[in-house]
Structure 1
Amino acid sequence: MTGSTVTQAATASAAPAGTDRHTSCTPSRAARELGVKRSEFDLAVHLGRIRTVPGDAGDGRRVGRDEIERIRSAEDFPRGFRSAVRVVGTTEGAALMEVTKARFTRLARLGLLVPVRFYVNRYRTVVWLYLADELHQFAADGRNARLLKGRTPEGLRGQLDEGLDLRPRNWRGRDLGCLLRQADDPWARAAAVASLLDTAEVPEVVTDPYERSHLRRFRPVRQLSGSPGSPAAQLAEEIMTAADPDEIEWLRADLADAVATARRQCSAPRPAALTGPARPEFEHEQQKPRHDPREPGHHPHRPEHHLHGPEHHLHEPEHHRHGPEHHSREPRHEAAANGRFLGLLGRLRRRGI
Structure 2
Amino acid sequence: MSRQRTTTTQRTVTAFDLEAGPVVAKDDSWVTTGGAARELGLRRAEFDLAVRLGRIRTEPGGSAGERRVARAEIERLRAGPGFPETLRRSVHAVGTAEGAALLGVAKSRFARLARLGLLVPVAFHLNRYRAVVWLYLADELRLFGDDGKNAPLLTGRMPEGLRGLLDSGIDLRPRNWRSRHLGFLLREAEDPWARAGAVASFLDPPHMTQVVRDPYDRSHLDGFRRRPPGGAHPDSPGAQIAADLMTARDPDEIAWLRADLTRLVDEARAHRPAPRPPASRRPVLSPPPARPAAPARPDTPTATDRAGRRGLLARLRHRTRRAAPRPSAGGAR
TM-score range, shorter chain: 0.7 to 0.9
Q: TM-score normalised to the size of structure 1?
A: 0.70
Query: Residues 215-226 of structure 1 correspond to what in structure 2 (within 5 A)?
Result: 215-224=221-230
- Say which SS state the counterpart of residue 36 (structure 1) adopts: coil
Which of 144, 164, 168 aligns to 2:170? It is 164
Distance, in Å, in 1 between the alignment partners of 2:55 and 2:282 is 51
Q: 1:63 to 1:225 in 2, by over 3 A?
A: closer
Query: Structure 1 residue 231: deviation in Å?
Result: 3.4
2:199 counterpart of 1:190: no
- Say which SS state the counterpart of residue 215 (structure 1) adopts: helix
Distance, in Å, in 2 between the alignment partners of 1:170 and 1:249 is 16
- Say which SS state the counterpart of residue 136 (structure 2) adopts: strand
Higher mean C-alpha deviation, range 115-124 or range 45-54: 115-124
Query: Structure 1 residue 214: deviation in Å?
Result: 1.4
The corresponding residue for 2:140 is 134
2:104 counterpart of 1:98: yes
Q: TM-score normalised to the size of structure 2?
A: 0.74
Which amino acid letter does the alignment assign opposite residue 29 of structure 2?
A: T
**Contact 2:228/2:246 (8 A) holds in 1:** no
The structure 1 segments of at least 4 consecutive aligned residues displaced by more than 6 Å after TM superposition are none
The corresponding residue for 1:213 is 219
2:158 counterpart of 1:152: yes
Query: Structure 1 residue 273: deviation in Å?
Result: 4.2
1:251-278 CA deviation, whole Å, 9 max, x = no partner?
A: 111111111111111111222344xx76
**Contact 1:119/1:225 (8 A) holds in 2:** no
Percent of aligned positions that are identical: 61
Which amino acid letter does the alignment assign opposite residue 42 of structure 1?
A: D
1:63-93 CA deviation, whole Å, 9 max, x = no partner?
A: 1110000000001110000100000000000
Distance, in Å, in 1 between the alignment partners of 2:258 and 2:126 is 28
**Contact 1:120/1:225 (8 A) holds in 2:** no
1:270-327 CA deviation, whole Å, 9 max, x = no partner?
A: 22344xx7689xxxxxxxxxxxxxxxxxxxxxxxxxxxxxxxxxxxxxxxxxxxxxxx
The corresponding residue for 2:45 is 39
Which of 89, 95, 117 aligns to 2:123? It is 117
Q: 1:73 to 1:230 in 2, by over 3 A?
A: same
**Mind listing any 5+ residue stretches in structure 1 that lack a counterpart?**
1-19, 281-353
Distance, in Å, in 2 between the alignment partners of 1:229 and 1:136 is 38
Distance, in Å, in 2 between the alignment partners of 1:232 and 1:61 is 25
Distance, in Å, in 1 between the alignment partners of 2:98 and 2:117 is 18
Distance, in Å, in 2 between the alignment partners of 1:174 and 1:100 is 26
- Say which SS state the counterpart of residue 200 (structure 1) adopts: helix
- How many residues align structurally? 259
**Mind listing any 5+ residue stretches in structure 2 that lack a counterpart?**
1-25, 285-333
